[in-house]
Amino acid sequence: MKGIQTMIKELWNFLCSLKLAIVLASLSTLIIGAGSMVMPAHPEIFGDLDRMTLTNWYAAVASQHPLLTWWLPVAGLLLISLGVNTLCCFCDWLMRLRSRWRKTGEYLIHLGFILLLAGYLWGAWAGNRTEGLRLPPGKSVPLPAPEGYALRLEDFRALTGPGGRPIDMISDLSLLRGEEVVARKTVRTNHPLLYQGLVVVPLSFATETSGFRFLRPGRGLVDLVTGETLELSGQERLEVLDFAPHVLRQSNGRVRRIGDQLRSPAFLLELRAADKQIWKGWYLLREGLPEALEHRLNLRPVGPLENRISVVTANYDPGAGLAMAGGACLTAGALFAFFSYYRKRRRQERPEVI
């Protein structure tokens, strides 16, 4: 029994060892320093590290290049060991708090490091990163994570500087859980939407063609976008079911979408009388009105209708709160240690040297 107690005590002393901390910190420094030298030379491997979580990156990219990335799991193991060592030191300090309270600053820094490490690992394991999420105005776009949430762009403005250079992107965003709006925020640089580990920051913006403006001789201008309905004579209605900026009609007559650039625009239309469908098909502007519509309607294309869409980064990091707490501990610890440093020295308090 005494032997086991001695063994546990020795193990605890080893885990709390200052020398172990120095060895682990030195090894981590060497491994990360040497390993990181390959990073700038291989952007195709390491360039995506900030675009996805570490675990996703490891599964998708690093596992394909083990010779260039082996140092990362080794560094991870060393840092986790350092975290365990730091945690043991912190617990050891807590148990002797009455005699060591003057070291509060230094041990808050220890706690901060543990929380940061734990927060990072949690985020890397359970988090998700989505870069380049395109948000057209008024539409709800589901988020990959957390599940059941969607973003809706209410309004978007691009701020331009001298020469028309874009300097900021301002998006009025709503975060929805189902149909319920759970958060609203005007997102711009340095002002993200934050909600329970989700952070949405502006990335870029783009222009999207949402429809076309036409002239109906004798009736003025009409904008055709998805969901729009035109009243025709004799109780007939023409509904716009879809719009595509670039399509191709194949030899079998079917229409295929090619891309988002405005090249060969087309509308999917449905002609109805009361509740009955009379005709449904594609109207390619390049081909002119389909035969079924020619004698019912006269449309002359005027120009495209363009929307600015906001492109954002939506990252979900469940460990962010823990990391924030770690940052707060580091700050408090650093300030406490700073102000107590000279006081301790005035009192001739010298730490134990081993």
Partner 1 sequence: MPQSDIPLLWSALGANALAVLFYLLHVQIRRPAIWRFAFALVLTGFAVQTLTLALRWFAAGYLPVTNLFSTLFFFSWCLAATYVYFELRYRLHASGLFVMLVNLVLLAAALQRDPAIPALVPALDTPLFTLHIVFSFLGYALFTMAFSLGVLYLVRRVTGSALIPDLSKLRRLNEEAIFLGFIFFTLCMVFGSLWAYLAWGYWFSWNIKGVWSFIVWLFYAGMCHAKFVRRWQGTGYALLSIAGFGVVLFTYLGIGLLLRSNHPLG
- Of 274, 276, 258, the closest CA to residue 266 belongs to 258
Q: What gap in Å lies between CA 352 and CA 350, rounded to an integer?
A: 7
Tokens of 174: 């709503």
218 binds partner 1 (CB under 8 A): no
Shortest Å, Cβ 70 to partner 1:
16
Q: At what angle do helices 2-15 and 71-95 cross, to 10 degrees?
A: 120
Query: Which residue stretch of 148-156, 252-260, 298-306, 316-324 sits at the interface with partner 1 (rule: CB under 8 A)?
Result: 316-324
Give me the numbers of helices (H) and strands (E) for the chain, helices first please.
10, 15
248 binds partner 1 (CB under 8 A): no
19 binds partner 1 (CB under 8 A): yes
281 binds partner 1 (CB under 8 A): no
Shortest Å, Cβ 230 to partner 1:
43
Query: Which residue stretch of 8-16, 63-71, 298-306, 334-342 sits at the interface with partner 1 (rule: CB under 8 A)?
Result: 334-342
157 binds partner 1 (CB under 8 A): no
How many CB atoms lie under 10 A from the CB of residue 301? Answer: 14
Q: What gap in Å lies between CA 43 and CA 46, rounded to an integer?
A: 5
Q: What gap in Å lies between CA 81 and CA 24, rounded to an integer?
A: 7
Query: Which residue stretch of 148-156, 267-275, 278-286, 345-353 sits at the interface with partner 1 (rule: CB under 8 A)?
Result: 345-353
Q: Concatenate the DSSP letters of all residues of 123-144 into one string.
A: HHHH-EEEEEEEE-BT-EEE-S
Q: Which is nearer to partner 1, 54 or 244 (CB)?
A: 54
Q: Which is nearer to partner 1, 32 or 297 (CB)?
A: 32
* H/E element, 171: strand 166-177
Interacting residues with partner 1 (CB under 8 A): 18-19, 21-22, 25-26, 28-29, 32-33, 36, 39-40, 43, 46, 49-50, 109, 113, 120, 129, 161, 167-168, 188-192, 199-201, 313-315, 317, 320, 323-324, 327, 330-331, 333-334, 337-338, 341, 351-354
